[in-house]
Copies of this chain bind each other. A is one copy, B any other.
Amino acid sequence: MSARSHVTLEEIARAAEVSVATASRVLSGGPRYVRPQLRDRVEAAAAKLAYTPNAHAQALAGGASRTVGVVCHDVSDPYFAAIVRGVMQVAGDNHLLVMLASTFRDAEREIAYVSMLRAQRARAILLIGSGFQDRDWEHAMATELAPYLAGGGRVAAVSRHPNLPVDCVLPANRSGAAALARVLLSLGHRRFAVLSGPPVLTTVADRLTGFRNGLASAGVCLADTDIVHGPFTRDGGHAAMRELISRGLRATCVFAVTDVMAIGALAALREHGIAVPDEVSVAGFDDIPIVRDLTPALTTVALPLLRIGERAMELALTEDPGSRRRVYRAAGEVVVRSSTASPSDRRAGT
């Protein structure tokens, strides 16, 4: 009668002339022993009727859910795409289905998704992507997570999420940016500009702080006017760079807090006929796969994106030995490529 008429275990049992208990044992019970003859009959019936257990019924009856939830800002951003790839790999290895949500950087939607994931009784929830430095948000998210955690749910996060009591993998945002600053200083740069994303994002804040600290170690100071904020996207980087240019570009080196923004910046520079690195050096952060193929190839801080995704999934899948928070730090390595040069090289340029 209902359009949704799937084959049920009971039908299999009937066809195989056994009880549903037995059918259940052969089809999804662990390694419980069942007489071969019965086992064969059940398997034959299941195959013949193309039986697929109803995962909802299984979950309800006590079987653990085979799904995990992942919430990120935007799957189509290469940074998240790379991390999610790592997540998918270990999920696949564990026969887990991934429910992926893109919040498009809407903090409220992020919480709404966690709530849906909670309703789905996902066995684990991964929070990928920067946290928000916002009291209300923190509180709302913590409130949403608490009952989930109390109910045995597992949560892991990537990046710094203030006050969230969960395991996490922390990219070296601060120290990476500081190291980059030092490399840039060693090239001879003294005047810098920064293309930044929304300062509410912890990732942005951390990279900015690190970069500033790195410069400070050489007595170089970054004025607020040297920082332009824009959306965390390629177009955001493009717009920010244009803004900088229109204000009269005085820096010899521009640091974009993400590679994606750096790509936009490079385009803006190209459009204005400003040569990189001859007239200005550009550096990014993340080392997303594409940047090595740009011309000039981008200097950046390499993060093990795939590994970060794998690790986050692993953290969420394994029980914490003690019940204390586990933190896995992902190192950042400065990779110097051709988008940066010494400022003195300017005169020698094309």
Indicate if A267 sits at the interface (CB-CB under 8 A). yes
- Beyond A4-B151, A147-B52, whether A82 also contacts B92 by CB under 8 A is no
Across the interface, do B4 and A152 meet the contact criterion of CB distance under 8 Å? yes
The answer, yes or no, to whether A56 is at the interface (CB within 8 Å) is: yes
Residues of B contacting A56 in the complex (Cβ-Cβ under 8 angstroms): 55-57, 59-60, 65, 120-121
Q: Is A160 among interface residues, defined by CB-CB distance under 8 A?
A: no
Assess whether A187 is interfacial by the CB under 8 Å rule: no
Instruction: Out of B4, B99, B104, name the residue touching A99 (CB < 8 Å).
Output: B99
Copy number in the complex reads: 2
A260, chain B: closest CB distance, angstroms:
10
A234 proximity list for chain B (CB < 8 A)? 289, 293
For A117, give the chain B residue with the smallest CB separation: B97
The one of B58, B115, B290 that contacts A263, using a Cβ cutoff of 8 Å? B290
Nearest B residue (CB) for A100: B100
Residues of B close to A267: CB separation below 8 A? 292-293
Note all chain B residues with C-beta closer than 8 A to A200.
none
When distances are taken between beta carbons in the complex, the residues of chain B under 8 Å from A54 are 60, 119, 121
Residues of chain B within 8 A of A5, CB atoms compared: 150-152
Closest chain-B Cβ to A309's Cβ sits at a distance in Å of 9
Closest residue of B by beta carbon distance from A70: B100
Residues of B within 8 A of A100 (CB): 75, 88, 98-100
| A56-B56, A263-B290, A266-B293 as given contacts; A102 in contact with B85, CB under 8 Å | yes
In the complex, whether A101 has a CB less than 8 A from a CB of chain B is: yes
Instruction: Report whether A116 and B101 are in contact in the complex, using a CB–CB cutoff of 8 Å.
Output: no
Contact B294 A118 (CB under 8 A): no
CA distance A50 to B143 in the complex (A): 8
- Do A85 and B75 touch (CB < 8 A)? yes
Q: Is A21 an interface residue (CB 8 A)?
A: no
Binding site for B on A (CB under 8 A): 2-7, 50, 52-60, 65-67, 69, 74-76, 78, 81-82, 84-85, 88-89, 92, 95, 97-102, 104, 109, 113, 115-121, 143-144, 146-147, 150-152, 234, 263, 266-267, 270, 289-290, 292-295
